[in-house]
Every structure is written in structure tokens, then in C-alpha cells.
Amino acid sequence: MNIIQLPISEYGEALMSIPKILVTNAGINDLGILAKLRVLHLASSGKKNYRCRYYGLDLSNGRLQNNILSGIIEPAMSKIKSIQMATEAAITILRIDDFVVLKS
């Protein structure tokens, strides 16, 4: 892995902690459901399987579901803003840490 790709990979792993926590809090012991979700989302990057990107977790039944067919439509703008604010907060914390290290 290239040194430039490392921060992006770690950022992606940090975002994957959200579904891991949701599955754990729902009492689902099978973490294989997250692997299946990751495979579906990876398949959605191709033009043939674009519908795979609408799959999400059905925590009541412990399985994956197509959220569009289930009638679940979430506003993307609120998710985008939340991720942007969290990223900016993390960057600010890292900058403060750099200042503390430089002064020591």
C-alpha cells in the first residue's frame, strides 16, 4: 500500500466502525453480515450492479435489505454534513496535537 493511500484507508476503516457498532448493539453475533454488505457496496461501483448501493442493514431481522424497496429513503445532505463536521473536528484535534508537540 502506498503511503498516500494509508490515510484514506484508515478513514474508511473509521467509517466502517459505525455499522460494526450498530450490529453489536442490535445483538447480532454474526459479523459476516458486514462482509456481505461490504461486498454489495463494492459491487455497486460497477455499472451493471448499481442497485447494490441501496442495500443496508435490517437490524430487526438480522439481515441485509434493499432500503429503496423497503421504503426507507434517507436525506443524503444530513449525512454529508455530519461526516464533514466530524472530519473537520478530527483535523482540528490533529492540528492542536501538532502545536503541543512543537512547543514541547
| Domain identity same for 63 and 80 | no
DSSP string spanning 28-66? ---THHHHHHHHHHHHTTSSTTGGGGGEEEETTTTEEEE
- Co-location of 79 and 68 in the same domain: no
35 and 86 inside one domain: no
The domain in which residue 84 lies consists of: 74-104
Residue type, 17: S
pLDDT tens for 57-88 read: 898 888 999 988 998 888 888 888 988 998 89
* Count of domains observed in the chain: 2
pLDDT in tens, 14-61: 888 888 888 989 888 777 888 888 888 888 876 666 777 888 889 888
| Contact call for residues 32 and 20 (beta carbons, < 8 A) | no
Residues 69 and 89 in one domain: no
Shared-domain flag, residues 23 and 46: yes
Contacts of 83 (CB under 8 A, 6+ apart): 15
54 with 35, same domain: the answer is yes
Report the alpha-carbon distance of residue 31 to residue 99 in Å, rounded. Answer: 40
16 shares its domain with 54: yes
Neighbours of 64 (CB within 10 A): 16
Residue 87 and residue 99 in one domain: yes
Structure pTM? 0.67
Cα distances from 48 to residues 52, 53, 55, 82, in angstroms, run: 9, 11, 15, 30
Are 15 and 55 in a shared domain? yes
